[in-house]
Chain A
Amino acid sequence: MTTLIRGELIKAITTRTIFAYAAMAVVLAVGQVLASLLPGWGDLMSQDDKKEALGGLPLLVLLLAIVGAAGEYRHRTAAPAALVAGRDAGRLLVARAGAYAVAGAAVAALATVITLAVGLPLLADRPGPAVSAGDVALIAGGSLVAAVLLAVFGVALGALVRNQVVAVTGTLIVIFVVLPLVQALSGTILDLTPFGAAQGVAGAGLTTLSTGAAAVVLVSWTLVALVAAVVGERRRDIA
């Protein structure tokens, strides 16, 4: 499995896509920190709001994984990989998920480090209760865990849908159109979705779930999606 992950990782990091997504992730993360902290600069800010400013949904890691996995079918690279590896497509998909988990963790780590470098000095000057070093560590660790799980989830989604445009557009519609509607109906249901749970894991305080419970929900979604994708890969033609 290590050789398969290595081969898939080489694929993931040898196009410009990952660098473009990493750059966008950094820009978005910094933008989120500034948008959360700068308005009402002199006002008191609660500890939860401060923590939420540092954490966030690693959306670009999810999109990177979807684009990478679905791109295997768009660019017809899934078949030569399976042929040369001499392994079934399901096993190769698991390796691909592993590779994107590593790549996603790297992108998230970069975004987190820059978020903290920009956000912590600003937070220190913002009125309100301080965020402890332990909280910062939990947010940073949670962001990495959420990124890893969302990368695996994204690979599974990309493999299930196989069409890059449909997969990315569908995901964006769910996140920006469907989920706000769900939130308006019930915060509990939102927290139980993979995206809601990911936010909880990444440091945003959820209405109904603790960070640990959110992690269990996200792991469950990720495993279900990955198993479905592996079964799909074994039943469908690779090319």
Chain B
Amino acid sequence: MTNELTEAAITVEGLTKRYGELVAVDDLSFSVRPGSVTGFLGPNGAGKTTALKAIVGIARPTAGRALIDGTPVEAARPDAGRLGVYIEPTGAHPGRSARNHLRSLAALADLPADRIDEVLESVGLEEAAGLRVGTYSTGMRQRLGLASALLGDPDILVLDEPLNGLDPQGIRWVRTFLRERVADGRTVLLSSHVLTEAAQTVDDVVVINRGRLVFEGAMTDLTRLGGSRVLVRTPTPERLAAVARDAGGRVELQAGRVLIEGMDATQVGELAHRERVLLQELASDDASLEQVFFSLTEEVEAA
């Protein structure tokens, strides 16, 4: 995934983590391209959180290593300006206010106190900053976790299931926020157990199952792997079906909608524009993407 001329922001080499007999992460290797959002995906229990903990240095790998900007994480622990982390098993004391939680972290990182107000504002928690964390909703805790990770305005963000428990506005806010960061040249590695949820946010994908790597590549490569499917609503379905067939797509007419296989949404949109077909709705079929995810993870289970 990494351009040979560009040093990876995160490199994982042969990472293995065992808890007694249980192998949580098994010889995992991948890299994260700088200036991208990389999705770290896998079903629940795949070993994502354990791998992330080892990558950022709060769990000791049984074998292998992780490098941040080319430096082994255990040799030179990255500071808050280089690496910002929110991993689910890390938290805030329920009896402490969000502001005091961030105050303590800012002091530990030797950051100026005015960063606290900046991050509280950026995650939309300034009004609730004085409340005890124990009174927070799941979404507010997610935002506080993100605020903690952002304190040092880091170049690299590692986020564990950042979309979990967020309402639709919250999800949209996180997506926009992360895209803005990578547009700024920063790097994001985020985990999710729902591929379709992450698909709209990530550039690259690393899929693991049972601690093992099952796919590494661009999001578009993953989409192609399963064969793309697009659902279209148009007042002239027969006309669209004909031109799509001519363009090489497999077409199925469904009660006012057209299901096109073998073409992605961009291709169908361009085709409709060229052929002057009016489109009322154009959507990638998430079921197809989800099927790819299932087939990847099932293959490992069967092996």
A interface residues with partner B (beta carbon < 8 Å): 3-4, 6-8, 10-11, 14-17, 71, 75-77, 79-88, 92, 235-239
Of A8, A16, A71, A76, which one neighbours B104 at CB under 8 angstroms? Answer: A8
Output the least CB separation between B100 and chain A (Å). 4
Residues of A within 8 A of B96 (CB): 11, 14-15
Residues of A within 8 A of B94 (CB): 75
Output the least CB separation between A13 and chain B (Å). 9
Instruction: Check if B92 is an interface residue, CB within 8 A of chain A.
Output: yes
What 1/0 flags go to B57-99 for Cβ under 8 Å of A? 1111000000000000000011110110101011111111100
Task: Check A77/B93 contact, CB under 8 A, given A6-B107, A83-B85.
Answer: yes
Output the least CB separation between B34 and chain A (Å). 20
The answer to whether B85 and A14 have CB atoms under 8 Å apart is: no
Instruction: Check if B56 is an interface residue, CB within 8 A of chain A.
Output: yes
Instruction: Check if B244 is an interface residue, CB within 8 A of chain A.
Output: no
Of A7, A88, A237, which one neighbours B77 at CB under 8 angstroms? Answer: A88
A85 to B94, CA, bound (A): 21
Can you offer 29 A-B residue contacts whose CB atoms are under 8 A?
A: A7-B107, A7-B108, A8-B104, A10-B100, A11-B96, A14-B96, A14-B104, A71-B93, A75-B93, A76-B89, A77-B90, A77-B91, A77-B92, A77-B93, A79-B87, A80-B85, A80-B90, A80-B105, A80-B148, A82-B57, A83-B85, A85-B79, A85-B80, A86-B77, A86-B78, A86-B109, A87-B77, A237-B53, A239-B89
Task: Check A79/B97 contact, CB under 8 A, given A7-B105, A11-B104.
Answer: no
Residues of B within 8 A of A88 (CB): 77
Closest to B103 in A: A10
Output the least CB separation between A176 and chain B (Å). 27
Instruction: Check if B127 is an interface residue, CB within 8 A of chain A.
Output: no
Output the least CB separation between A216 and chain B (Å). 33
Residues of A within 8 A of B87 (CB): 79, 239
A20 to B189, CA, bound (A): 41
B interface residues with partner A (beta carbon < 8 Å): 53, 56-60, 77-80, 82-83, 85, 87, 89-97, 100, 103-110, 148, 151-152
The answer to whether B109 and A84 have CB atoms under 8 Å apart is: yes
Which DSSP category, helix, strand, loop or mixed, fits chain A's interface? helix
The 7 A-B pairs with the shortest beta carbon distances in the complex, nearest first, are: A7-B108, A86-B79, A7-B107, A14-B100, A76-B91, A10-B104, A237-B59
Closest to B83 in A: A83
Which DSSP category, helix, strand, loop or mixed, fits chain B's interface? loop
A117 to B53, CA, bound (A): 52
Residues of A within 8 A of B93 (CB): 11, 15, 71, 75, 77
Task: Check A76/B90 contact, CB under 8 A, given A8-B104, A81-B108, A88-B77.
Answer: yes
Output the least CB separation between A15 and chain B (Å). 4
Closest to A88 in B: B77
Residues of A within 8 A of B53 (CB): 79, 237, 239
Of A17, A77, A82, which one neighbours B58 at CB under 8 angstroms? Answer: A82
The answer to whether B95 and A83 have CB atoms under 8 Å apart is: no
Residues of B within 8 A of A16 (CB): 95
Residues of B within 8 A of A237 (CB): 53, 58-60
Output the least CB separation between A1 and chain B (Å). 11
Of A15, A75, A84, which one neighbours B152 at CB under 8 angstroms? Answer: A84
Closest to A237 in B: B59
Output the least CB separation between A222 and chain B (Å). 24
